[in-house]
Amino acid sequence: MASPKIRFRLEPYRVDLFKPFRISRDVYDHKLGMRVFLEAGPHTGIGETQEHVFYGVRQAGLKQKLLDLKPLIESQDLVHPASMYAIMTDAIGDHPFVLAAVDMAYWDLYARVHHKPTRELLDLPRVPERKQYSTWTITIDTEDAMVGETKKHNYKVFKVKLGTENDMRIMELLLSETDADFYVDANCGWSLDKAIEFTRAFRGTRLRMIEQPLQTSRIRDMQSLKDQTDIPLIADESFIHLEDLEACQPGFDGVNIKLLKCGGLTPAIKIIRKAMEMEMDLMVGCMTESSIGISAAMQIVPWMKYADVDSFMFIRNDPATGCHVATDGEITLPGGNGNGYQYLLE
């Protein structure tokens, strides 16, 4: 039986947040992006991508590159997503935010055609089932507002954005107000001296991990910091591609896989395999994806030590449902075939 031909459709979107999202280098209350729809017979796969100032990605550029891929994808039969990914990269090169949207939609479509959840088709080793928890992100705000987040949400783990003049006091206040664990994300906002001071001050507390404390260029400083602390250090901005794993290993204990940043599920599979071989910790993170993007990210949660998949809950106009995080942060993987969301706008 012949493989079905694919129809490619593209739509711009804007998601609005319930409140401004502030980190050490930026603040925003909405995101612009593009959604990709791949249709084959009665099945549709959807992916999404969005602009990102730090990586120099804008909506107009995303749209043009995605349109460049349209005739290529529509000329192909439905094949394995890894095969399609190779065809796309040969055509447009290294554009992870573009490739991620199509790859996300392609895996979704491929799994729906085969009547399977996407995660069952990923070429990854079996891992034991266990409870896994997402963080709730506390963004930079007034001290009262940041502490207030721990009272509003009964999460087992909070991820707190830092990179302010009052980081030590904020961390002390947060630890005093809840029995939850904490991950800290400085988004490149610290110096080496500040990072050493912070890790020494909170060693032995419920601070369980620090994400990207220093700027990406501070490779030797990260090695020095790692030598001086037993708090796990996770690379985010320092890690994009599979090839970055070896460069990150001396200064970090693990890496944060974000599908938009790395280029989608297909490269994420390779990253997971290689990181497991290198005995590095794995985290799945997010930018400002809706339930469409988070349902794709949740497909790799079983292989992660850390999970930050809360962005869909910050969005006022989420276009889909299907992502489930309990009031304590426990993740329920999406049900059904494909990535498991239910699209609401059609």
Q: Where do the domains of the chain lie?
A: 7-116, 120-343
Q: Does domain 120-343 have CATH number 3.40.50.2300?
A: no
Q: Write down the pLDDT at residue 5.
A: 84
| C-alpha to C-alpha distance for 75 and 164, rounded to whole angstroms | 51
Determine the pLDDT at residue 1: 52
Question: Which one, of 258, 339, 259, lies nearest residue 99 by Cα?
Answer: 259
Cβ-based neighbour number of residue 137 at 10 Å: 22
Token pair of 316, please?
A: 């006022």
Q: How does pLDDT run across 117-170, given as a tens digit for each residue?
A: 999 999 999 999 999 999 999 999 999 999 999 999 999 999 999 999 999 999
CA distance 310 to 314: 7
Residues 221/197, Cβ–Cβ less than 8 Å: no
Q: Locate tokens 């944060």: which residue?
A: 256
Which stretch of DSSP H or E encloses residue 140? none
Q: What is the CA radius of gyration of the chain?
A: 20
For residue 340, give both structure tokens. Answer: 């498991």
The fold for domain 7-116 equals Enolase-like; domain 1 (3.30.390)
pLDDT, position 265: 98
Nearest to 195 by CA among 236, 225, 232, 158: 225
Q: How far is CA 169 from CA 83, 120, 135, 209, in A?
A: 51, 45, 21, 18
- Dihedral sign of CA atoms 157, 291, 319, 139 in order: positive
Within a 10 A sphere around the Cβ of 178, how many other Cβ atoms?
18
- The pLDDT score that the predictor gives to residue 4 is 73
Phi, psi of 133 (to 5 degrees): -125, 140
pLDDT score, position 311: 98
Of the candidates 229, 145, 238, the one whose C-alpha atom is nearest the C-alpha of residue 186 is 238
Return the closest-CA partner of residue 208 out of 238, 186, 230, 189. Answer: 230
pLDDT at 346: 73
Q: Which residues of the chain have pLDDT under 70?
A: 1-2
CA end-to-end distance (rounded Å), the chain: 30
Question: Angle formed by the axes of helices 265-277 and 96-113, to 10°?
Answer: 100
Q: Which two tokens stand for residue 131?
A: 């409870």
Cβ proximity of 214 and 188 under 8 Å: yes
Rounded distance, CA 232 to CA 309, Å?
Answer: 19
